Chain A
């Protein structure tokens, strides 16, 4: 009995250490943030800015010199920086909790052609990994299924929610395909050299993808006597309500994939991962194709590539006029999603203007994901999804959040990790 009381006491004293952070309530009072350097997300910057928002929407963006009444709670952010909430494109947050624990893995459904598989269903709004995004300014993410040829359909969420319905800010907005690669590995168990060499089946694999969508199109234009769920799911690609995300590397493959999509009458196209896209930037611009780059913190493909070859691609593409964002795909991708600001920073270190780098993970991402009409930049009328950082948020040592808001709701910046931090820091302090 006594023990129970103590543990209850402990629970209340230290806070909800074991539970996830409780989502914030709707914005009830207005906020005015004054004095910060505002990075608007559209490439512009306002020094000594004033940002005001109410009922979840931004009501004022301008200079703090403006003579206008400050609404509600005033936050003095002098010397600090304010940014629109960062957006992680092509992420799998909430689909897997612990990489190596199969029971916690919901990212890859069986089957090759899965346009009907919807990521939003498995999105765990209470994931400990999800909440760890927020102290780094990552407040929205595109939740993307993985695997197969057609992986499924993605949705966009905000990262402070009770459940997936609550979290969704754009449902079923994109279909993701893995375009075949044109290289194959030798089958070492048959004595072949395991190195990569041209895949003779590339052509037929690419044809398979094309045929699938052609059949879907024929089905959709027909009587549909028997419902074909996967084909139904592709309808948005042809009527322009959904975007086709093609995950692929290599200039040849990218070119083939875009030609195929165009022939199929699909007009909203984004290339994901996109190594080699810089070599065909003009072609991408001409076809209005945007790009979600993989994180630059990875090794160059070939030992002859320059050490910074993964760092400079954003600059090249941006200068050519391609809309570029950053995504996560590969090893430890969920945990590393919180490093997306630093990936933008790396692109800035290697040629991209700093505000252009901010744009990669704000307005550009919003444009690609189709949410730029209500978020992605600090503009009047848009969602008040933003945060204040003590320094340059693209820098490890500058990215230190003091406040963050999603749809005007002041969210908690505590996490499973900060709780453990405080618990143990206190343990030694009290000694």
Chain B
């Protein structure tokens, strides 16, 4: 048996994979002691099996965990007291950042605070040059003096990022050794080891963020593994990472930055599986709808997209992690997004959100502003008596009153028109987010299939898909817990990267091949170590390449494991031109190419691919009719079907509603829904 557990802001989701059957459980998240929430969820599962928790856990051989612990610590400022060491002459790397700003006329927002304040920043006398040569030798005595000062200040963690440590790490290594000697109990992160990438700000940013998380994540993961062991678990604990893979919990404790974007990164992993199973080669848009945010990613050719520009918080206002992670775009649009009318008479939806507290008006927990969820309720999409399987009754009248006074009356339209407009505008924002992410990769969303995940996905997934011109929308059976389902499918991965600048005109075959050989050895060592026992191991090489004078590279897969001769190089250059055309509509086939960073990624598959099925529900597939409103048809009685009970092949023609304990799917007029053999709901548009 394998477990995947995703600790979110409100709920701790647990997916139990028991042979071919999957079961879902939800417990409340316990912020004061999150491990308790994990154990509570496990307790619910054990109860279901009618076993004491210890015996249940004894039958579990793998526990995969995702948590918002690290990101929450950053957002609430509860990370370690962290110092930043950098090359003398350049103390303001974290302050100046890379510039850039949003909202040109908004001067109400302060310049962002540096992740490490200036008074905890120290200049190390040394300088390495772009070619790796040493311009100024390291002043080791000065480093020892700094170490003394750090001890006085009670610093708990140190991030070290020296200029060009990616070209020659010798100074950074030495600084690490001196700190280890003088400050044995202080966590240290060295930039070239953590994130060997060009651009000092983003490398430094990743380094100090990682260092600042080490004490608390080490503590959290030790507690988690110890308490699981005490509870009777003797299997392997894995953590999901921002890169959409899994790592041993001990490895994440050593580099906790891997865990900051772990939740959203899992949805595309699940999405890729469903896409390959149900749609073959079509590009797939994965949209995960939560209470406050809408996370979008894109899978094509079976590849999960990556970005090196992940921001914590808003672009330019938050911090860049500078770390490769799954390219997920988040916008403030979800079930909790608030609808309002501004002074100019324009309808607004989000980015303000009622979140889980106070939540939508209908929750009756103190929310007073109408939300997307309230509108879905008003339109009849959600059954007020069957929300979360009936666990939470909803207050329809309160929702109607709030929307009427705050939106409908101010726009001089009817209540249902207002509710439909709110959903239409939310849909439009979601479409805008998808457009952004698809443009960056040159994909026509019209050629893609959309997969909807998250509890609120079904409210407008069909509308979004229609608006984009997608061929179809799929709501997987485990869609409501798409991230946790993805965690069970991920592979054990690690990546190695090295900077070696060379050009197609004067290609450094010797240097590149030596580097690839080294990285292959490192990957193999990983496969033989943590990856031992994997059923399949793959090592992939890629290079970040660009045209001369460009500075934003694109990642191009390398066909083999070495670049033996001119023919292999010609192939690589041809692949680069093709990739550039694919992404940006243009290329420059007469130009040469430049190569900057070389990457090797090892993936160890721990189990056969596949997703278990939910246990069937023995109720009737058709559970009557409900009065709902669509702009095109007005109020009408439409059929309501029970998701889990629908047999494959049964067609439900829109307008209709398909609902389960975890989600409601609105089937718009003119579309047809059908259960796939894999258990998902497929809506042809």
A, B in one complex: no
Which residues of B are in contact with A by a Cβ distance under 8 Å?
none
